[in-house]
């Protein structure tokens, strides 16, 4: 039996039936990670993992344990794990050690999880390819010449390559759904506020949301069940109760936004997504074409609001409070030298855009206007959900691209988020479900064998509906 190819449920059954111990399982994963050339992990937390595995084996021996007890996982390196390094993919935090656990980590530890390590991310989670990491790009397990997506590329690749049973990532503009699509795994971005952000290094506070990656819908549902809920340490977290939905594919009203199938989408991606929609229709779903007219402004809106929040959030990394501190003769030079050396090109670019948008004379023209557009985008979704239960659309207009292909063209890179940012502007939940692999590429496309994800979008706090329909559709794709 290959221990490392099992789902959460299968791993749990194996532990319960004493087919293997958590320690044996953990050692198998650690060995696999050390041999890997994907660069999915920045930090291997071997000491912590083995201690947690020993503790899990004791719990399992008593018979009093949860479905996640002893199951090895990976954590995006922007989420704090007490006593372990947390770099956020940046040189400025290269030697920073987390002083406390994020709320999601506390919850997983209470369930008996085994944390194998911290996964690679674009610097301060800014990017769509993990190429902006200060510690090297993560390779896609399906084609090592291609990116794993971003910013949670390490978390998606780790699950896809069987280097962890499941993982946690964070989604600000598409950073769970897009790498899940590129790597062929399931990734859930919950409703804004469904999962506590306490202990997540902030990128853009009105967008950031922690969520799980898994090998199937059942795994993602199990992890989401463990981490959601109100947290006194996060004022934006919501008090919700997750109930299993009885929504069936038969009779389900599925909206397909016409704006998401226009010029620019890769033909192979479009074919796979339309096939998934057809499968849902064959399963009894009612397919309704809907319009999200303000979605054409979503990308521009996001790249004003996001950088504005980045400008404020990254001001704390000044060479005094955290991480790298460059010696200088005066305080201003400490700031300039520490930030100049410690921050990479993408955070600097977004800080400058955000500072400009918030500056006197430009605030009304950019930031205020973008907030008004954000409200229009929310209203589009509100009207859509008056007619439908869920929305189906692509996650990305193209499959995983070559490493270096878009690195020198920030605008082209930003377009990777074109189908995911509107969901984040609205605070809605979205999931990437593997919909198939490109089998007969268009002439010269070279995309053969690359996964494509179907994006399933739900109304606020309707993760249960998304998971119910995705679970039924998973068996059909």
What are the residue ranges spanned by the domains of the chain?
3-227
Active site annotation includes 442: no
Helix, strand, or coil (residue 58) = helix
Residue 53 has pLDDT above 50, yes or no: yes
Q: What is the pTM of this model?
A: 0.96
The Cα–Cα gap between 270 and 226 comes to 34
Residue with tokens 């902006």: 132
Residues in the chain: 477
Q: Which residues contact 407 (CB under 8 A, 6 or more apart)?
A: 129, 131, 413
Of the candidates 155, 167, 175, 237, the residue annotated as catalytic is 175
Out of 76, 279, 424, 462, the active site residue is 76
Let me know if 338 is a catalytic residue. Answer: no
Mean pLDDT within 201-216: 98
**Alpha-carbon distances, residue 36 vs 32, 141, 158, 354 (angstroms):** 6, 10, 10, 38
What token pair was written down for 258? 């016409």
For the chain, what percentages of helix, strand and coil (3-state, to nearest 5) are there?
A: 45, 15, 40
The domain defined by 3-227 folds into Amidase signature (AS) enzymes (3.90.1300)
* pLDDT value, residue 240: 84
Query: pLDDT, tens digit, for every residue of 422-471?
Result: 999 999 999 999 999 997 544 455 677 899 999 999 999 999 999 999 99
Q: Pick the more confident residue, 170 or 447.
A: 170
Per the residue annotation, which of 22, 90, 133, 151 is the catalytic one? 151
Which distant-in-sequence residues (6+ apart) come within 8 Å of 469 by Cβ?
Answer: 247, 249, 252, 254, 280, 389, 390, 456
Contact assessment for residue 323 and residue 317, using Cβ atoms and an 8 Å cutoff: yes
Burial (CB count within 10 angstroms: exposed 0-12, middle 13-18, buried 19+), residue 443 = exposed
Q: Helices H, strands E: what count in the chain? A: 15, 13
Q: How many CA atoms lie within 13 A of 256 on its CB side?
A: 19
**Tens-place pLDDT, residues 236-292:** 999 988 888 999 999 999 999 999 988 789 999 999 999 999 999 999 999 999 999
Please, what is the end-to-end C-alpha distance for the chain in angstroms? 26
Sign of CA dihedral 175, 181, 183, 184: positive
Q: How far apart are CA 203 and CA 57, in angstroms?
A: 37
Mean pLDDT for 180-197 is 98
151 is catalytic: yes
């Amino acid at each position: 039996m290959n221990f490392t190819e099992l789902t959460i449920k299968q791993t749990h059954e194996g532990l319960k039936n004493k087919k293997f111990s958590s320690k044996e399982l953990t050692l198998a994963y650690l060995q696999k990670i050390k041999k890997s050339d994907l660069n999915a992990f920045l930090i291997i937390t071997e000491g912590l993992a083995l201690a947690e595995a020993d503790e899990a084996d004791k719990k399992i021996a008593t018979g009093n344990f949860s479905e996640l007890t002893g199951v090895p996982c990976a954590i995006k390196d922007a989420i704090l794990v007490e006593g372990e390094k947390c770099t956020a993919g940046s040189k400025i935090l290269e030697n920073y050690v987390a002083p406390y656990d994020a709320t999601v980590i506390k919850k997983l530890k209470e369930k008996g999880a085994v944390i194998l390590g911290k996964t690679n991310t674009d610097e301060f989670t800014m990017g769509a390819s993990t190429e902006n990491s200060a510690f090297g790009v993560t390779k896609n397990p399906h084609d090592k010449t291609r990116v794993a997506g971003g910013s949670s590329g390490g978390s998606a690749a780790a699950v896809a390559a069987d280097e962890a049973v499941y993982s946690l990532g964070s989604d600000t503009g598409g950073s769970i759904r897009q790498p899940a699509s590129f790597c062929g795994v399931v990734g859930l971005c919950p409703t804004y506020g469904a999962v506590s952000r306490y202990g997540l290094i902030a990128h853009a506070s009105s967008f950031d949301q922690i969520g799980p990656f898994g090998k199937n819908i059942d795994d993602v549902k199990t992890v989401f069940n463990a981490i959601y809920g109100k947290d006194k340490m996060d004022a934006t977290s919501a008090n919700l109760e997750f109930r299993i939905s009885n929504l069936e594919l038969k009779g389900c009203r599925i909206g397909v936004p016409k704006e998401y199938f226009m010029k620019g989408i890769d033909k192979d991606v479009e074919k796979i997504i339309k096939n998934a929609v057809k499968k849902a229709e064959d399963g009894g779903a009612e397919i309704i074409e809907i319009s999200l007219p303000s979605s054409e402004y979503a990308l521009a809106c996001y790249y004003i609001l996001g950088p504005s929040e980045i400008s404020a959030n990254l001001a704390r990394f000044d060479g005094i409070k955290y991480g790298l501190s460059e010696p200088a003769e005066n305080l201003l030079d400490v700031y300039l030298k520490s930030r100049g050396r410690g921050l990479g090109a993408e955070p600097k670019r977004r800080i400058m855009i955000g500072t400009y948008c918030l500056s006197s004379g430009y605030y009304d023209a950019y930031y205020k206007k973008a907030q008004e557009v954000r409200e229009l985008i929310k209203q589009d979704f509100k009207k859509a959900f008056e007619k439908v239960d869920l929305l189906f659309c692509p996650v990305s207009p193209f499959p995983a691209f070559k490493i270096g292909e878009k690195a020198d063209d920030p605008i082209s890179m930003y377009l990777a988020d074109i189908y995911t940012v509107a969901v984040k502007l609205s605070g809605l939940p979205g999931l990437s479900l593997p919909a198939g692999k490109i089998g007969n590429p268009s002439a010269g496309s070279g995309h053969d064998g690359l996964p494509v994800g179907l994006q399933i979008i739900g109304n606020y706090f309707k993760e249960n509906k998304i998971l119910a329909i995705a679970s039924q559709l998973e068996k059909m794709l």
